Amino acid sequence: MTRIAIIVGSVRPGRQGRAVADWVFAQAGQRTDATFEIVDLADHPLPHLDEPVPAAGGHYAHQHTRDWSRVVDGFDGYVFVTPEYNHSTTGVLKNAIDFLYAEWNNKAAAFVGYGVVGAARAVEHLRLIAAELQLATVRSQVALSFHQDFEEFTTLRPAPFQVEALGATLDELVAWSGALAVLRRDQVGASNG
3-class SS at 33?
A: coil
- The confidence score (pLDDT) of residue 153 equals 87
The topology under which CATH files domain 2-192 is Rossmann fold (3.40.50)
pLDDT tens figures, 119-171: 999 999 999 999 999 999 999 999 999 999 999 889 999 999 999 999 999 99
Overall pTM > 0.85: yes
Closest CA to 158 of 171, 170, 148: 148
Closest CA to 185 of 127, 107, 96: 107
Domain ranges of the chain: 2-192
Closest CA to 115 of 92, 145, 73: 145
Cβ atoms of residues 111 and 84 within 8 Å:
no
* Contacts with 34 (C-beta within 8 Å, 6 or more apart), sequence order: 1, 2, 3, 4, 28, 76, 77, 170, 174, 177
Q: Give the mean pLDDT of 87-101.
A: 98
